[in-house]
Amino acid sequence: MLKLLLTTSLLLAMIPIPPSDALAQHRREAVDLLVLGGSIVTMDQTRRIIDDGGIAISKGRIVAIGPRAEIERAYTSRQRVSAEGKVITPGLINGHTHIPMVLFRGLADDLDLQEWLTKYIFPAEAKNVTEQFVRVGARLGLAEMIRGGTTTYCDMYYFEDAIADETAKAGVRGVLGETIIDFPVADNKTNAEGMAYVEKFVARWKGNDLIIPAIAPHAPYTVSEEHLKAVRAFSDRTGVPIVTHIAETKREVDDMVKAKGASPVAYLERIGFLNNRVIAAHMVWPQGNDIAILQRRGVGVIHNPQSNMKLAAGVAPVPRMLKEGVLLGLGTDGAASNNDLNMWEEMDTVAKLHKVFTGDPKVISAQQAFEFATIRGAQALHLEKEIGSLEVGKRADLLIVDRDTLNQIPVYNIYSDLVYATKAADVETVIINGRVVMRDRRLLTLNETVVKKEARAFRDKIIKSVGGSSAP
Amino acid sequence: MLKLLLTTSLLLAMIPIPPSDALAQHRREAVDLLVLGGSIVTMDQTRRIIDDGGIAISKGRIVAIGPRAEIERAYTSRQRVSAEGKVITPGLINGHTHIPMVLFRGLADDLDLQEWLTKYIFPAEAKNVTEQFVRVGARLGLAEMIRGGTTTYCDMYYFEDAIADETAKAGVRGVLGETIIDFPVADNKTNAEGMAYVEKFVARWKGNDLIIPAIAPHAPYTVSEEHLKAVRAFSDRTGVPIVTHIAETKREVDDMVKAKGASPVAYLERIGFLNNRVIAAHMVWPQGNDIAILQRRGVGVIHNPQSNMKLAAGVAPVPRMLKEGVLLGLGTDGAASNNDLNMWEEMDTVAKLHKVFTGDPKVISAQQAFEFATIRGAQALHLEKEIGSLEVGKRADLLIVDRDTLNQIPVYNIYSDLVYATKAADVETVIINGRVVMRDRRLLTLNETVVKKEARAFRDKIIKSVGGSSAP
């Protein structure tokens, strides 16, 4: 808190207030924070870009947005951030993660998905995942995400209550799903335990400004029909989102067709599981009528291009889903299968991958790629009324991005620059819910040195847990 | 020069010399530069990794490499660079660029290759490319490359003599090919002019420590058979490499089959063009027996995954070419079709793209991806005796890479870390031919502020040259 106050004073010291301001001040509305200068990429309905813009923020929300001069005439604030010469964008939305898995980053690569899961990831999880592991991993992942401009992420893991606690402390927005799975896991040994955990978890966080608690049945092939129906009933009763994996691999689809006589989507539709609170990661292999079902039910789909590439899961039919009106967002997946939490690289990849895969260089534009990480991502998380664009009434989740790095010169088109040329390291300042969580590349809510040290301390134990050495 | 001397003094000041050193010094060999500490990824034949290593450098070459203690016992130097806790790797080799095209970065995206070339790139080049344009673009590209750890690049453009001049001044190694093409271009209006230019260009730079002058016939479809034969004869006489584009698009192959009754590779083989001085970019569409021809002739092939994806050119059969023994390197292509000169992203992409395209997650490993950007890249440029690995006798081209960034924690496998998690911004120090060209992220051979300012000055004129506004 002291740190934040100091920060505010520093900002004040840096931007001299002209004498006339003192006189005019009584006529202006006082707000918590003003962001002034720079080009604002609003991602609103008209995709308005405001040059030399200004944003007034109060109580975590955008009060006004427009040309800088107008904002300065109408609002005053003790806290100001200058974005002169820079770009202001909505915070990025990472639609699918398993955040503590940053601690398994690079533990095992270049393997078949089954081998990777059964020989490395599951054993490593069985032997390492504790509440402390999850907290340390979450802090490392949160620090990486803030540095890269992610302001909202959608997670599925264990001890999600501890992840929520760390996320709220770091000042980051999260749709956080506690895993429900039909085998014993680190935090819950039975389905009954899991459902009891979720009940408490949701009760604790519901209504929080930053945390949207969710229930996360792992996948239709790891959770029984009965348990999936209970998950849906729980979501109906509490209103929380359902985070899950659907149709990641061809094998999953084939197995489901054998077992249930239907594709995963068709099966979930048949048992009445799908609705507009479901957030489905991957969707690499929708079959037959599946895309129409997803569209009709308002299911949010999260595409994870780099993870799907690295595990050779396949290429999701993103252009078709887009055309048929499916709500589509973008995610990194866990860092064990990516190997980072970098949304800039996902944006770059989503555009390039579908161009080459369809043979059509126009199939996904830079602007559409940026939409996936902002307003469309918000739609896929069913949060489009709160986040995803910079508009009056929405949460003040935004980035100030440096445009002076060598890789960004010159700029002809703002979306091209953001998607094909901007790097995570170019993000300078991050504001979430009106709070500055990174300023001029300095993290304000996490102690980076401690975060790194604590994360490294897990390394040797993790290596031993998978048999003494890491994968080749 | 003053700057470099100051740098040296600073380095001396930073590393205290123990008192016993003064006595031992007469027994040690004095060298120009010692790099001490850190893990050295040698990329030598055995792919040795030396923990807490040391490298002694004199006259631009590696004199000794081994455990730090051994190096310190045998060598002394007034200039030392500490790499404690960091990774030392061979400098990266960007096998295909058109460096001044950084000035067209983002000018036109998400277009068909033909439309992109004929409506934007060719008109923009016709109206903007002058020697001054090329110098300013080269400086911007060189600065970006140094920052990202590229120490050697292979280029094809106009006014290549000016590019060579800028490259040598920046202290970067370049295989620089002056374009030969059968239509009038900025620097030469006829083939005779072009060949005369190349003659002078090669005479000027041959034998330079950093610059390998080359002749660059644009492509088999833009240069006549007669002119291609003259290029080959020129290369036979002077020994310089031949840089060209082959089989980038399916259309190019189909057109060649119609016109010449053979694929581009088969046609070039028939006219006696191919040998072990040829460096062929792209090779997305080799046909029939082409791969065997490339292998037999010792042609170097440069794969440009991100450019091929963005322009929807296709996916080159890299795993097959690798298996059949083709010399394979990696490149970014020009920044107008990428949109950067970032070899870390190419490495990440080459591994992931071929996994998903073949359905086999083992098809290209992290280590192989790193090889493409180092030792295999050197082979593809026919420079494996000089660069590509850290070994005694080779040129001292190397990087010191930070391992303390959030995206790299923890590290289980060094190649996985380098390929899937390291970013260009993590490169701290770059040494080329024994000269420190970037230290602790500060460029020493280029004035970054001036480079940026001069590059930006071209923007408005370029926009006007393509009809007043950039592409949508």
Of A144, A312, A348, the CB nearest to B356: A312
CA-atom Rg of chain A in angstroms: 22
What's the CA gap between B260 and B252, in Å, rounded?
A: 12
What's the CA gap between A161 and A179, in Å, rounded?
A: 11
* A456:B410 CB<8 A: yes
Q: List, in sequence order, every beta strand (DSSP E) within A313-404.
A: 327-330, 398-401
φ/ψ (deg, to 5) at B400: -115, 120
Summarised one tens digit per residue, pLDDT across range B156-205 is: 999 999 999 999 999 999 999 999 999 999 999 999 999 999 999 999 99
Joined together, the tokens standing for residue A20 give: 């006339």
* A312:B360 CB<8 A: yes
Superfamily of domain A2-90+396-445: Urease, subunit C, domain 1 (2.30.40.10)
* B413:A471 CB<8 A: yes
pLDDT at A335 over 60: yes
pLDDT of residue B35: 98
Joined together, the tokens standing for residue B5 give: 């001397």
Read off the pLDDT band of B8 (50, 70, 90). Answer: very low
pLDDT at A12 over 80: no
Contacts of A458 in chain B (CB under 8 A): 410
pLDDT of residue A27: 83
Read off the pLDDT band of B12 (50, 70, 90). Answer: very low
* A110:B420 CB<8 A: no
Residue located via tokens 């239709």: A220
Which residues have CB under 8 Å from A436's CB, separation 6+? A4, A7, A33, A81, A429, A430, A444
- ipTM higher than the 0.90 cut: yes
pLDDT at A8 over 80: no
Question: Which of helix, strand or coil describes residue A369?
Answer: helix
Residue B191, preceding peptide bond in cis (omega within 30° of 0): no
- What are the extents of the domains in chain A? 2-90+396-445, 92-380
**Domain B2-90+396-435 is of which CATH architecture?**
Roll (2.30)
Task: Pick the closest to residue B412 from A115, A309, A462, A229 (CA basis).
Answer: A462
What's the CA gap between A8 and A83, in Å, rounded?
A: 15
Summarised one tens digit per residue, pLDDT across range B365-416 is: 999 999 999 999 999 999 999 999 999 999 999 999 999 999 999 999 999 9
pLDDT at A37 over 90: yes
**For range B73-94, the mean pLDDT:** 98
Summarised one tens digit per residue, pLDDT across range B427-469 is: 999 999 999 999 999 999 999 999 999 999 999 889 988 886 5
pLDDT at B4 over 50: no
Q: Which of B406, B423, B453 to mutate to test the interface with A (most CBs of A within 10 A)?
A: B406
With a pLDDT cut of 90, the percent of chain A lying above it is: 90
Q: How far is C-alpha A277 from the chain's CA centre?
A: 16
**For A360, nearest residue in chain B (alpha carbons):** B312
pLDDT at A187 over 90: yes
What is the DSSP code string of B250-319? HHHHHHHHHHHSS-HHHHHHHTT---TTEEEEE-----TTHHHHHHHHT-EEEE-HHHHHHTT-----HH
pLDDT of residue B112: 87
Taking CB atoms and an 8 Å cut-off, how many pairs form between chains A and B? 209
φ/ψ (deg, to 5) at A36: -130, 135
What's the CA gap between B93 and B13, in Å, rounded?
A: 33
pLDDT at B21 over 80: no
Summarised one tens digit per residue, pLDDT across range A368-407 is: 999 999 999 999 999 999 999 999 999 999 999 999 999 9
Pairing of strands A53-58, A61-67: antiparallel
pLDDT of residue A26: 59
Question: Which of helix, strand or coil describes residue A234?
Answer: helix
**Domain B92-380 is of which CATH architecture?**
Alpha-Beta Barrel (3.20)
Joined together, the tokens standing for residue A465 give: 């847990």
**For A472, nearest residue in chain B (alpha carbons):** B413
pLDDT of residue A465: 87
pLDDT of residue A471: 43
pLDDT of residue A13: 44
pLDDT at A5 over 60: no
Joined together, the tokens standing for residue A446 give: 């996490």
- Decide if B106 contacts A413 (C-beta within 8 A): yes
Of A109, A416, A472, the CB nearest to B420: A109
* Neighbouring C-alpha atoms within 13 Å toward the C-beta of B78: 6
pLDDT at A22 over 80: no
Q: List, in sequence order, every beta strand (DSSP E) within B331-426.
A: 398-401
pLDDT at A328 over 60: yes
Which residues have CB under 8 Å from B104's CB, separation 6+? B120, B121, B124, B334, B335, B336, B462
Read off the pLDDT band of B99 (50, 70, 90). Answer: very high
φ/ψ (deg, to 5) at A237: -70, -40
With a pLDDT cut of 90, the percent of chain B lying above it is: 90
Contacts of A370 in chain B (CB under 8 A): none
Contacts of B112 in chain A (CB under 8 A): 361-362
pLDDT of residue A6: 42
- Decide if B362 contacts A110 (C-beta within 8 A): yes
Strand partners, A50: A40
Task: Pick the closest to residue B130 from B468, B376, B462, B463 (CA basis).
Answer: B462
pLDDT of residue A467: 81
* A470:B423 CB<8 A: no
**For range B209-226, the mean pLDDT:** 98
* A455:B409 CB<8 A: yes
pLDDT at B472 over 50: no
Contacts of A315 in chain B (CB under 8 A): 356
Q: How far is C-alpha A131 from the chain's CA centre?
A: 22
CA-atom Rg of chain B in angstroms: 22
pLDDT of residue B20: 54
* A412:B106 CB<8 A: yes
| Distance linking the first and last C-alpha atoms of chain A | 45
- Decide if A67 contacts A58 (C-beta within 8 A): no
* B455:A410 CB<8 A: yes
φ/ψ (deg, to 5) at B54: -150, 150
Residue located via tokens 């995709």: A47
pLDDT of residue A18: 53
